[in-house]
Amino acid sequence: MDGQGRLTKVAGGPRADGDPLPNPPVDGTPAAEARFGFVANLAVDPRSHDLYINMLNLFRMTPDGVIRTVKEPNGQTLAVGYGGLAFDTGRGLLIHRDPFKQLTVSYLSPDGMRSPIPAADGQIGREDTIVATSDSGIYIWNREGGKVRYLGPMEG
């Protein structure tokens, strides 16, 4: 937001009504030129100011305005589906809720390594929303039951 309270565009090029959804940006695309067709959710790393963008595959926009593809250790683009994202500031890791792999919750490192959070297994629904606290706890909003639950902080 600028000094006069207006939102500032940090990424995304124009797309006319009726245009087909564009393909996700390629690695190294300047954020101002990137075109986004569908964004499931966002999370920000408060330390590095990297913005994580979930477009079914995971992308990272760095403060210098470049879109980077987050890849698994094998070099494949990290697929994250429609799952929720949050950022654990205590651990410096992204948290991802995977709606397809038995509704698991995992930590994701910037290099694409997944570390499941066992305590969350079976406690999260397909459409639940997650948010992390600064001490590595996780709040889970259960859409179906209308409840907010708290998990953590966990050791390690």
3-state per-residue secondary structure call for 48-60: CCCEEEECEEEEE
- Say how far apart CA 49 and CA 54 lie, in whole Å: 16
Could you tell me the domains of the chain? 31-151 (2.130.10.10)
Q: Is 21 exposed, middle or buried (0-12, 13-18, 19+ CB in 10 A)?
A: exposed
pLDDT per position as a tens digit, 98-154: 766 655 778 888 888 888 877 666 666 666 777 777 777 777 777 777 788 777 765
Please state, in angstroms and as integers, the Cα–Cα distance from residue 102 to each residue in 42, 51, 72, 83, following that order: 22, 27, 20, 12
- Say how far apart CA 111 and CA 65 lie, in whole Å: 19
pLDDT per position as a tens digit, 20-69: 888 888 899 999 888 887 788 888 888 888 988 888 888 999 999 999 99
Contact 37, 22 (CB under 8 A): yes
CA-based nearest residue to 112, from 38, 60, 153, 154: 60
